[in-house]
Structure 1
Amino acid sequence: MTAELAAGGESGPVAVLANPTAARGRHRALLPAVLDRLGAAGRPVRLLTAHTAAAALAACHQAVADGAGALLTVGGDGTVHLALQAVAGTPVGFGPVPAGTGNDFAERTGFPADPLAAVDVIAGALRAGRSTPVDLARITDAAGATRWYGAVLAAGFDAIVNERANRLRWPRGPRRYDLAILVELARLRPRHYTLTLDGIRHDLAAVLVAVGNCASYGGGMRICPAADPTDGLLDVVVGGPMTRRHLMRIKPRVYQGSHVTDPLVRSYRARTVELSADGIIGYADGERVGPLPLTITAVPAAVRLLR
Structure 2
Amino acid sequence: MRIAIVWNPAKTERDPLETALADVLDGKPAEVRWFETTEEDPGRGAAQAALAGEPDLLVVAGGDGTVRAVAEYLADSAADVELAILPLGTGNLLARNLDVPIEDVPAAFRQALDGEARPVDVGWVELTTDAGRERHGFVVMLGFGLDAQMIVETDEDLKERAGWLAYVESLGRALSGSDVVSFGLTVDDGHPQTVAGHTLLIGNCGALQGGVKLLPEADPGDGELDYLVLSAEGVAQWLGTVKKMVWDDGVKRLIGRGEQDADSESVRRGRASVVAVTLPEPRLLEVDGEELGQAREFTVTVQPAAMRVR
TM-score normalised by length of structure 2: 0.79
Q: SS in structure 2 opposite 1:61?
A: helix
- 1:115-154 CA-to-partner distances (Å, cap 9, x unmatched) read 32231122125xxxx6322211122223553221111113
Matches within 5 A, 1:103-142: 103-113=92-102, 114-125=104-115, 131-142=117-128
Aligned-residue offset at 1:48 = 1.3
The equivalent residue for 2:291 is: 288
The equivalent residue for 1:227 is: 218
Contact kept, 8 Å, 2:149 with 2:177, in 1: the verdict is no
Aligned-residue offset at 1:249 = 5.8
Does residue 157 (structure 1) correspond to residue 143 (structure 2)? The answer is: no
Change in 2 beyond 3 A, CA 1:251/1:52: farther
Distance 2:46 2:114 in 1: 25
Contact kept, 8 Å, 1:111 with 1:121, in 2: the verdict is yes
Aligned-residue offset at 1:16 = 1.0
Change in 2 beyond 3 A, CA 1:157/1:248: farther
Structure 2: segments with no counterpart, 5+ residues:
251-260
Partner amino acid, structure 1, of 2:55: A
Distance 1:81 1:68 in 2: 19
The equivalent residue for 2:7 is: 18
Does residue 279 (structure 1) correspond to residue 286 (structure 2)? The answer is: no
- 1:182-220 CA-to-partner distances (Å, cap 9, x unmatched) read 333234420232211103222111022111111124565
Change in 2 beyond 3 A, CA 1:146/1:220: farther
Change in 2 beyond 3 A, CA 1:250/1:41: farther
The equivalent residue for 2:255 is: none
Distance 2:41 2:270 in 1: 34
Change in 2 beyond 3 A, CA 1:191/1:61: farther
Does residue 96 (structure 1) correspond to residue 85 (structure 2)? The answer is: yes
Contact kept, 8 Å, 1:214 with 1:224, in 2: the verdict is yes
Aligned with 2:228 (options 232, 237, 240): 237
Q: SS in structure 2 opposite 1:225?
A: coil
Change in 2 beyond 3 A, CA 1:169/1:44: closer
Q: More displaced, 61-70 or 235-244?
A: 61-70
The equivalent residue for 2:73 is: 86
Contact kept, 8 Å, 2:277 with 2:299, in 1: the verdict is yes
Aligned-residue offset at 1:90 = 1.7
Structure 1: segments with no counterpart, 5+ residues:
1-10
Matches within 5 A, 1:1-307: 13-22=2-11, 29-34=16-21, 36-37=23-24, 42-52=29-39, 54=41, 56-88=43-75, 89-113=78-102, 114-125=104-115, 131-142=117-128, 144-165=133-154, 173=160, 177=167, 180-200=170-190, 201-217=192-208, 220-243=211-234, 246-247=237-238, 250-251=241-242, 254-255=245-246, 258=249, 262-277=264-279, 278-292=281-295, 293-305=297-309, 307=310
- 1:70-108 CA-to-partner distances (Å, cap 9, x unmatched) read 321223322211211221232121101223221221221
Contact kept, 8 Å, 2:9 with 2:36, in 1: the verdict is no
Distance 2:139 2:157 in 1: 30
Q: SS in structure 2 opposite 1:182?
A: helix
Aligned-residue offset at 1:233 = 0.7
Contact kept, 8 Å, 1:221 with 1:257, in 2: the verdict is no
Q: More displaced, 67-76 or 256-265?
A: 256-265
Q: SS in structure 2 opposite 1:54?
A: coil
Change in 2 beyond 3 A, CA 1:162/1:69: same
Q: CA RMSD in A?
A: 3.2
Aligned-residue offset at 1:256 = 5.5
The size of the alignment, in residue pairs, is 287
Contact kept, 8 Å, 1:156 with 1:209, in 2: the verdict is yes
Partner amino acid, structure 2, of 1:124: D
Report sequence identity in percent.
26
Partner amino acid, structure 1, of 2:294: P
Distance 1:63 1:26 in 2: 19
